Every structure is written in structure tokens, then in C-alpha cells.
């Protein structure tokens, strides 16, 4: 079988190499050929590429044989007069078993396409509201051996451009569609399909043209493979090892790197039935379990291969107790490439988000938390999980979500509640504590399902302890899978009112636990009972956080009176400078 090897320019200290490895990558070779659907017509085409439309909007759907799409001057752009502007346009590379393109195993590629318009800018529709859950973007198929080793399987990757309309600039080549592809350990990783999909906005007119500029496969170097993670002794701080990811590999030298978590259970085929593990341990093993935090700092990129997971090694002298290994994102990028990438956190391990991004490059790329594992959002951190509906956040029995102080988790994809009890975690329900200052928000692309649960009653049970839960953008069915649990107020009105910070400075912060919607009047008095100011609050069921501006009030002692429905409580506060 013939292999087409990419030509890479390996340079010392070079971080990436741009390779044009597809046939006619610059779209600078043309040919005049008969139209495949009407032999009486001829068209101008890019050599080794085909431009077409389908009846159902899917790249592999039935061809619209009424259209012979051609290139036209200037610059041989796609002549939109020959296309149906109401249907997506596909530009597909003519790859087959003889000219498929080989990719190096265990590497990371950034893959993209650049294009532009003529005469006027062109608007493309983005998002997932089209056939194949992709309106405009890239569809890439990587051929690998199948699980039997006798035939092949396809790994699909895509780039779905955002919902906001994409503008193709005039006469300027721009990298419009880009995705990351981590190759696997197989010697046979081949690019077998490469398709550009473009859905035009209604404002596009047929007198314009789209010029395909180039495709690229950016081979990322250096690329370090983390077969094991050893925590140096000097990284132990207080109760845990705090290990920058560059310290766990003897190949690192302090530069920023791409770190790949490899599938190392060869010759097994990567699948949920045969995952592999990179194990972490202290430099000197201990008989008691330690917490090892692997930190991905700004400038670093972490790339798990499909079904490659992290866990701790057994502690010294045990075959059942392991160290805890957490992945802490402190400003780095995590590439979840392809629709089959599953990254599972198990047995108490955590993903802790303190900054950076997780880039989901497929609709079903998934992070799962089970058996005591948690997704934790750090203090004062906003974490957007998912983009445009891409990716899955899966919770299986025993898995959970933890929000830090003043943190926000914005979910923009599918939350999958898998209530499948185990002997260790028999409860099919999931729980989240929303404390004061923390927020759980479901964005416009979010959804919730409890498919695969043993009971249809599996819910996300949220303890409303002063935090904010916004599910207004969810469907009615998805909102039905959230159960709000409110703390019960105490019989004494005064016991439900608390001053959170005393002394107070510029703002007085109060908490009030309410049985339901009501109006609460807060008055500020001097020590003689003279009213200084007042403010009315509309409170809801549960714990409410209230703020009263003190402004330039002189330092000293004051009284705060709270009144609601004939009930009243008075507390003393100190105004500090």
C-alpha cells in the first residue's frame, strides 16, 4: 500500500511546522472538465477537488444533479451564479486508497482552511442548526485500523464555526476554519476525507465568488508524551504536590510545550472497554495516599488521546489504594479533538479549572466524572464548558460538580446525567451545592438528558444555599431534570437574618433565608434609633444575599432593622473606615 509522507522542515527550537500535504493545497491548479451531471456542459474545477451540493444538506447525501458548479475569473473563485444559494456548498478533496495522506502517529496537528470573497464580503451561517449539526466548517475523516485489525475505521473531526455569522473578507486570505487533531499510536493514520462546508446567509448575492486559498496541516513541535507523571519531592507544599506539567517529563527544559496523554495499552484498540492510563506518583513512593496536582499553565497545551486517562499509582505496600491525581488548568489549553475523545476522571480524581480553555472539537467529545471524581471550578473563576453545543459533560454515579467562592460555571453543551448505581455509589441522583456568590448558568446551546439512567427520576439536585441558578434558556423538558432544594427557614425571624461581615466597610452584606417570595425592608439607624436610610428588597425562596450601600457613612456603631410581614429583627453593626 502506497504511503504519502508529509515533508516536514524540522528546525531546532521550532515550535510548529506548516505543511501543505493535501493534493493541490493552494488551489492553484485548475482543469476544464465535463460536468459529472450534464455531459453537455464543461466546468472549470480545482484539480483534485470537487465542488457540489446535496439535496439534504449532508456532505454524503444525494447529489443535486441540477447544479454544475464552476470556477470563474477573476482568480478562479467559486461562481455563486452556478450554485443554489439556499443549499450548503461542499468543497471535497478527491482522496482515495491510492492518494490518502499519512499522518505521523502520536502527534498533534492544527488543521485549517483559508478562503475569502470577491467584490463584497460574504456572510456564512455558523452553529449546529443545520444538517449533520454543522452549518459551516470542516469535516475531516482520519482512517485507522479497526478493532479486529482486518479492516479500517474512521475517526471524525470537525470545526463548527460559531453561531454568529462568519464574514469572509474581500481579497484577504483568512484562516476561517481550524481544528486540532491528535493522531493515535497506529502507524496507519490517514487523512481519508477532507470537506469544507459553507452555508450562505440570505444576504449573499449570486454575483459574488468564494476563493479557496489554501489548506494546512500544522505539525506541532515539540510534542511530549506523558507515559507517566512523577512529582518531584520539592513540589510538595503543605498537603499536596503542586507540579507544573513541565516538571513531570524528563524531556522538558522549561519552555512551553504541548503535552500529549497517550493511549499506551497496545495492542488493544482504544475504546471504553479498553482504556489506558498514565499513572502519577511521588518521586519517592509513600505508604499513605498523596494528592498530586498536575498544573497546565498559560502557554501550555494538554492533549488527551481517545480513551487515555490519568490515575495515581498504588501507594507503597498496597494493591488497592492509589494516590490521587488531579488535572489543574491554570491558563492552558486542552484540546478535546474528535467525536470519540472520552476523558474520564475516576475514583476521586478531579479536573480543577482555574483559567484557560477546553476546546471541544467534536459534538460528542466528552469529559466524564464518576466514582467520587469532580469537576471543580476554582475561586473567582468563570468557566465556560462547551462551545456552540459541542462537547458533553457526563456525570456517572458518584461523580459531581463543585463550585468555588464567587465562581461561575456556564454550560454551553450537553449535561448527561448517567444514574447507573454501583456497589460503592448506589444513589442514581446527582447533587450540587450552590453557595453564596457561586452561579450555575445554562446557556442557549445547553441541554440536559438522563438517558442510560436506571430510573427516569434521575435529576441534578441543586442545594440553593445562596448561589444563582439560571436555567431560563433550557427547554421545559431539560428544566424538569433540575430539582431545586431550598433550606427551610427557622421559626425565629431573627435566626434567618445574618450580617455576613461585621465590621462593614463601604457595603453592608446580609443574608436572609426566606420561605418564599416576599418584600423585606432594611433600615439603618443610629444608636439613638434615628433613621438614616432604608432599602426594600424583593426576596425569593431560599437563601438571599443582600447588599446595602453605606457610602460615606462615618465610622462608628449603628443599628440595622429588618422587617417583613409584621416580623422584625435588629442587629448592631460597626462601620469601619
Phi and psi of 225, rounded to 5°? -100, 125
Q: Which range in 211-225, 246-260, 311-325 is most confidently predicted, on average pLDDT?
A: 311-325
160 and 37 assigned to the same domain: yes
455 and 503 assigned to the same domain: no
478 and 523 assigned to the same domain: no
Average pLDDT, the chain: 90
Average pLDDT over residues 426-438: 94
Instruction: Tell me what pLDDT residue 20 has.
Output: 58
User: Pick from 485, 508, 524: which residue ends a domain?
Assistant: 485
29 and 113 assigned to the same domain: yes
Whether omega before 74 lies within 30 degrees of 0, making that bond cis, reads yes
Residue 464 has which C-alpha cell? 440553593
pLDDT over 60 (residue 124): yes
Task: Specify if 5 maps to a domain.
Answer: no
The end-to-end CA distance of the chain, in Å, is: 79
419 and 314 assigned to the same domain: yes
Among residues 348, 283, 340, 274, the alpha carbon closest in space to that of 311 is found at: 348
Instruction: Tell me what pLDDT residue 14 has.
Output: 38
pLDDT over 70 (residue 222): no
Which CATH number does the domain housing residue 547 bear?
A: 2.60.40.1930
Task: Specify if 273 maps to a domain.
Answer: yes
Count of structural domains within the chain: 3
pLDDT, tens only, 294-339: 999 998 899 999 999 999 999 999 999 999 999 999 999 999 988 8
- Chain centroid to CA 570: how far? 48
Residue 135, by phi and psi: left (phi above 0), alpha (psi -120 to 50) or beta?
alpha
176 and 282 assigned to the same domain: no
Q: Which range in 20-29, 52-61, 120-129, 382-391 is most confidently predicted, on average pLDDT?
A: 52-61
**pLDDT classification of 263: cutoffs 50, 70, 90:** very high
470 and 358 assigned to the same domain: yes
Task: Specify if 53 maps to a domain.
Answer: yes
Task: Specify if 9 maps to a domain.
Answer: no
User: Pick from 440, 468, 485: which residue ends a domain?
Assistant: 485
Residue 366 has which C-alpha cell? 466528552
Q: Is the dihedral of CA 542, 543, 547, 553 positive or negative?
A: positive
Instruction: Tell me what pLDDT residue 457 has.
Output: 94
Task: Specify if 7 maps to a domain.
Answer: no
Instruction: Tell me what pLDDT residue 223 has.
Output: 60
Average pLDDT over residues 20-49: 91
Task: Specify if 23 maps to a domain.
Answer: yes
Instruction: Tell me what pLDDT residue 395 has.
Output: 98
**pLDDT classification of 413: cutoffs 50, 70, 90:** very high
Average pLDDT over residues 140-145: 95
501 and 432 assigned to the same domain: no
**Coil, strand or helix: which one is 288?**
coil
Torsion of CA 187, 175, 223, 100, to 10 degrees: 10
User: Pick from 450, 485, 520: which residue ends a domain?
Assistant: 485
209 and 234 assigned to the same domain: no
Q: Which residues pair with 358 in a beta bridge?
A: 334
380 and 524 assigned to the same domain: no
Average pLDDT over residues 203-219: 91
206 and 324 assigned to the same domain: no
Full residue range of the structural domain in which residue 297 is found: 223-485
93 and 170 assigned to the same domain: yes
Residue predicted with more confidence, 329 or 173: 329
Q: Return the exposure string of 478-504: e unless at least 16 CB atoms fall within 10 Å of the residue's CB, then b.
A: beebbeeebeebeeebeebbebeeeeb
Task: Specify if 468 maps to a domain.
Answer: yes
Which CATH number does the domain housing residue 127 bear?
A: 2.60.120
Task: Specify if 2 maps to a domain.
Answer: no
CB proximity list for 493: less than 8 A, separation 6 or greater: 564, 567, 568, 569
Percent of the chain with pLDDT over 70: 94
Radius of gyration over every alpha carbon of the chain, rounded to an integer in angstroms: 29
**pLDDT classification of 13: cutoffs 50, 70, 90:** very low
pLDDT, tens only, 55-89: 999 999 999 999 999 999 877 899 999 999 999 99
Of the ranges 160-169, 425-434, 442-451, 454-463, which one carries the lowest mean pLDDT score? 160-169
Average pLDDT over residues 205-228: 85
Instruction: Tell me what pLDDT residue 18 has.
Output: 54
pLDDT, tens only, 511-536: 999 999 999 999 999 999 999 999 99
Instruction: Tell me what pLDDT residue 10 has.
Output: 32
**pLDDT classification of 469: cutoffs 50, 70, 90:** very high
Amino acid at each position: 500500500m502506497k504511503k504519502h509522507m508529509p515533508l516536514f522542515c524540522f528546525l531546532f527550537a521550532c515550535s510548529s511546522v506548516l505543511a501543505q500535504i493535501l493534493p493541490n493545497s493552494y488551489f492553484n491548479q485548475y482543469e476544464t472538465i465535463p460536468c459529472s451531471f450534464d455531459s453537455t456542459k464543461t466546468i472549470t474545477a480545482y484539480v483534485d477537488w470537487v465542488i457540489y451540493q446535496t439535496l439534504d444538506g449532508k456532505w454524503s447525501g444525494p447529489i443535486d444533479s441540477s447544479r454544475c458548479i464552476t470556477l470563474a475569473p477573476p482568480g478562479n473563485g467559486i461562481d455563486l451564479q452556478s450554485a443554489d444559494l439556499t443549499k450548503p456548498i461542499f468543497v471535497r478533496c478527491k482522496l482515495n486508497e491510492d492518494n490518502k495522506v499519512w499522518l505521523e502517529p502520536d502527534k498533534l496537528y492544527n488543521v485549517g482552511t483559508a478562503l475569502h470573497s470577491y467584490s463584497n464580503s460574504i456572510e456564512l451561517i455558523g452553529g449546529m442548526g443545520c444538517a449533520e449539526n454543522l452549518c459551516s466548517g470542516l469535516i475531516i475523516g482520519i482512517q485507522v485500523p479497526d478493532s479486529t485489525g482486518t479492516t479500517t475505521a474512521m475517526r471524525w473531526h470537525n470545526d463548527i464555526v460559531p453561531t454568529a455569522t462568519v464574514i469572509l473578507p474581500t481579497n484577504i486570505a483568512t484562516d476561517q476554519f481550524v481544528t486540532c487533531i491528535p493522531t493515535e499510536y497506529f502507524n496507519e493514520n490517514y487523512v481519508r476525507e477532507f470537506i469544507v462546508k459553507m452555508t450562505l446567509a440570505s444576504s449573499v448575492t449570486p454575483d459574488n465568488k468564494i476563493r479557496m486559498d489554501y489548506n494546512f496541516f500544522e505539525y506541532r513541535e515539540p510534542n511530549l508524551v506523558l507515559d507517566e507523571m512523577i512529582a518531584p519531592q520539592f513540589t510538595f507544599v503543605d498537603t499536596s504536590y503542586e507540579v507544573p506539567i513541565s516538571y513531570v517529563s524528563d524531556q522538558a527544559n522549561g519552555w512551553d510545550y504541548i503535552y500529549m496523554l497517550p493511549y499506551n495499552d497496545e495492542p488493544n484498540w482504544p475504546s471504553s472497554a479498553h482504556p489506558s492510563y498514565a499513572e502519577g506518583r511521588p518521586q519517592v513512593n509513600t505508604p499513605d495516599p498523596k494528592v498530586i496536582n498536575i498544573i497546565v499553565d498559560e502557554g501550555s497545551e494538554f492533549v488527551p488521546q481517545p480513551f487515555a486517562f490519568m490515575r495515581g499509582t498504588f501507594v507503597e505496600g498496597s494493591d488497592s489504594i492509589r494516590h490521587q491525581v488531579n488535572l489543574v488548568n491554570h491558563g492552558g489549553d486542552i484540546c478535546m479533538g474528535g467525536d470519540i475523545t472520552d476523558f474520564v476522571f475516576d475514583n476521586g480524581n478531579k479536573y480543577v479549572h482555574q483559567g484557560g480553555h477546553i476546546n471541544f472539537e467534536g459534538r460528542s467529545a466528552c469529559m466524564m466524572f464518576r466514582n467520587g471524581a469532580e469537576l471543580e471550578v476554582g475561586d473567582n473563576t468563570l468557566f465556560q464548558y462547551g462551545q456552540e453545543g459541542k462537547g458533553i459533560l457526563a456525570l456517572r454515579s458518584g461523580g459531581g460538580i463543585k463550585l468555588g467562592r464567587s465562581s461561575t460555571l456556564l454550560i454551553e453543551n450537553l449535561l448527561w446525567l448517567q444514574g447507573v448505581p454501583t456497589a460503592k455509589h448506589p444513589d442514581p441522583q446527582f447533587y450540587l451545592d450552590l453557595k453564596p456568590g457561586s452561579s450555575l448558568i445554562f446557556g442557549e446551546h445547553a441541554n440536559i438528558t438522563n438517558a442510560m439512567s436506571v430510573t427516569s427520576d434521575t435529576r441534578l439536585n441543586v442545594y440553593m444555599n445562596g448561589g444563582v441558578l439560571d436555567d431560563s434558556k433550557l427547554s421545559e423538558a431539560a428544566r424538569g431534570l433540575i430539582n431545586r432544594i431550598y433550606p427551610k427557614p427557622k421559626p425565629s425571624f431573627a435566626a434567618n437574618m445574618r450580617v455576613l461581615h461585621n465590621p462593614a466597610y463601604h457595603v453592608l452584606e446580609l443574608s436572609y433565608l426566606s420561605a418564599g417570595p416576599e418584600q423585606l425592608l432594611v433600615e439603618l439607624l443610629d444608636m439613638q434609633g434615628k433613621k438614616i436610610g432604608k432599602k426594600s428588597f424583593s426576596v425569593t425562596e431560599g437563601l438571599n444575599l443582600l447588599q446595602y450601600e453605606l457610602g460615606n457613612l462615618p465610622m462608628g456603631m449603628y443599628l440595622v432593622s429588618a422587617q417583613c410581614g409584621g416580623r422584625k429583627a435588629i442587629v448592631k453593626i460597626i462601620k469601619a473606615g
